[in-house]
Amino acid sequence: MFVLYIVLKFNRFDCRESGEKDVTFKVLYCGICHSDLHMVKNEWGFSTYPLVPGHEIVGDVTEVGSNVQKFKVGDKVSVGCIVGACRSCDNCTDHLENYCPKQILTYSAKYYDGTTTYGGYSDIMDADEHFVLRILDNLPLDCAAPLLCAGITTYSPLRYFGLDKPGMHVGVVGLGGLGHVAVKFAKAMGVKVTVISTSPNKKEEAVKHLGADSFLVSRDQDQMKAAIGTMDGIIDTVSAQHPLLPLIGLLKSHGKLFMVGAPEKPLDRASSFSFTHGKEDGSW
């Protein structure tokens, strides 16, 4: 068995002074996302320390700034990957703050005033209300936390790029934190779901517990061959290096492949012909 140890230490730090648009909340739950692991180990090269990870955060409002409109003390709220953006560029105007070049990440980043952002592995947090989301009463708070990153990361491509129509066939690669919510969302949308994984022992979880329609072992050439050209889309959640071309081969014409994992090393080089011909060098 492989066990990964990461040592985190308790640390006291000063929060920035909260402003008139800030919502302060007691952190109740916080998910562990693979990005937290990448960031703790500086695998993407932009971590700054001391670092407080956590960007799937659910809490209970304890204080609101004088100009906060949407929240009051006692509300159940959540914060995801970003806590700031310029609010005036084209992306921000289109409600795509996640693409704002001046976005502020929830931790290991700097607010515009130069103070550091700290994430949800903390007892208390604050954020501008624009980046705070309400948690509805009927949603269990512990289950809500992973929706803030894993959830939106998989829901968004399914919806945004139209892979949400009943009867469509979507592949989900990898059955970790992102993969399992991808399966649940896609199934809830009425989509036929095939989980694609290197580990055959994930089949039971995929099919029995999460309701996937079928399971493909990506190392099994015969299974992969039989599935060529059958999928309308693929959500690839794997955050380690892995071959892409076999996945591309599973798509129907005009099928869509979404990479939502963020491996620290670049992925395959693919010749342009490989997209239509299926092999790395462009041959059949």
Ligand X SMILES: *[C@@H]1O[C@H](CO)[C@@H](O)[C@H](O)[C@H]1NC(C)=O
CB atoms within 10 A of CB 204: 11
Binder of Zn ion out of 89, 207, 245, 267 (CB under 5 A): 89
Q: Which stretch binds Zn ion (CB under 5 A): 89-97, 167-175, 190-198, 234-242?
A: 89-97
Q: Look up residue 85 and give its two tokens.
A: 């953006």
Q: Residue 91 has which token pair? A: 């992306």
User: Is residue 266 part of the contact set for ligand X (CB under 6 A)?
Assistant: no
Q: Are 125 and 25 in contact (CB under 8 A)?
A: yes
Instruction: Provide the mask over 153-182, with x wherever binding to Zn ion is found by CB under 5 A and - wherever it is not.
Output: ------------------------------
Q: How far is CA 199 from CA 150, 176, 260, in A?
A: 21, 11, 19
Give min distance, CB of 102 to ligand X, in A: 8
**Residue 99, binding choice from Zn ion, ligand X, none, Cβ under 5 to 8 Å by partner class:** ligand X
CA angle 211, 236, 108 (to 5 degrees): 115
How far apart (Å, rounded) are the C-alpha atoms in residues 171 and 77?
A: 32
Q: If binding is defined by CB under 6 A, does position 95 make contact with ligand X?
A: no
User: CA–CA separation, 215 vs 230, rounded Å?
Assistant: 13
**What is the nearest approach in angstroms of ligand X to the Cβ of residue 9?**
35
Which of Zn ion, ligand X, none sits in contact with 90, Cβ below 5 to 8 A by type?
ligand X
- Examine residue 100 and tell whether it contacts Zn ion (CB under 5 A): yes
- Residue 91 lies near ligand X (rule: CB under 6 A): yes
89 near ligand X, rule: CB under 6 A = yes
Determine how many CB atoms are found less than 10 A away from the CB of residue 90. 9
Task: Give me the residues that bind ligand X (CB under 6 A), please.
Answer: 89-91, 99, 101
